[in-house]
């Protein structure tokens, strides 16, 4: 027991002695919109977006569970499964910005996880347009315009640079998206 306490104290002291620049090394290496922390959907768990997406091609999508495009969850999951082992991820951001999302996160999670079998990271419900927009979407909107509707997609490369934005009408497995993913992965 004493050994464990001593080792814990040494680890804690070494963190205090570590320069701030070294402690924040991960956040300093991220560029682009995928920075900061976001709470996960129906969870108290918080994800560091930099750690979650660093070195990966990332498709950022604003979602809604009561939208005509909600079926795109299937295509997003299929895309994620197809490319995840090659350095690709999808990050979903449920939003009621277009008045088509449940107000209860349990209901949102039910649609995503139970109805559509989503396994890619889903963040907590947030605004994606306007003054209260999630910082990820504020940054993306400054580069390519805000989402025009639910299931708007932004493809970001491994270095945090926006590759292209796709409107809701472009399905996740459309060749316009998959060709850009394949190109970015190579």
Nearest to 48 by CA among 57, 40, 38, 58: 38
160, two tokens:
């945090």
Name the burial class of residue 80, with classes exposed (0-12), middle (13-18) and buried (19+) by CB atoms within 10 angstroms of its CB.
buried
Burial code (b: 16+ CB inside 10 Å, e: under 16) for 137-155 equals bbbbbeebebbebbbbbbb
Residue at token pair 């080792």: 7
67 is known as an active-site residue: yes
Give 8's contacts (C-beta < 8 A, 6+ positions apart).
Answer: none
Residues 6 or more apart whose Cβ sits within 8 Å of residue 81: 119
With CA atoms as reference, report the closest residue to 29 among 153, 159, 142, 121.
159
The residues that are catalytic are 67
């Amino acid at each position: 027991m004493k050994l464990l306490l001593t080792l814990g104290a040494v680890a804690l002291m070494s963190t205090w002695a570590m320069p701030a620049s070294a402690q924040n090394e991960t956040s300093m290496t991220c560029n682009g919109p995928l920075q900061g922390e976001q709470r996960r959907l129906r969870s108290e768990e918080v994800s560091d977006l930099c750690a979650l997406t660093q070195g990966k091609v990332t498709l950022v999508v604003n979602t809604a569970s009561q939208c005509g495009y909600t079926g795109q969850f299937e295509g997003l999951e299929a895309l994620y499964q197809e490319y995840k082992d090659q350095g690709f991820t999808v990050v979903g951001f449920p939003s009621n910005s277009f008045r088509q999302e449940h107000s209860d996160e349990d209901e949102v999670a039910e649609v995503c996880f139970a109805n559509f079998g989503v396994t890619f990271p889903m963040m907590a419900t947030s605004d994606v347009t306007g003054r209260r927009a999630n910082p990820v979407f504020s940054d993306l909107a400054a580069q390519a315009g805000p989402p025009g509707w639910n299931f708007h997609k932004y493809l970001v490369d491994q270095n945090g640079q926006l590759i292209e934005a796709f409107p809701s009408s472009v399905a996740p497995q459309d060749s316009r998206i998959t060709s850009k993913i394949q190109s970015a992965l190579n």
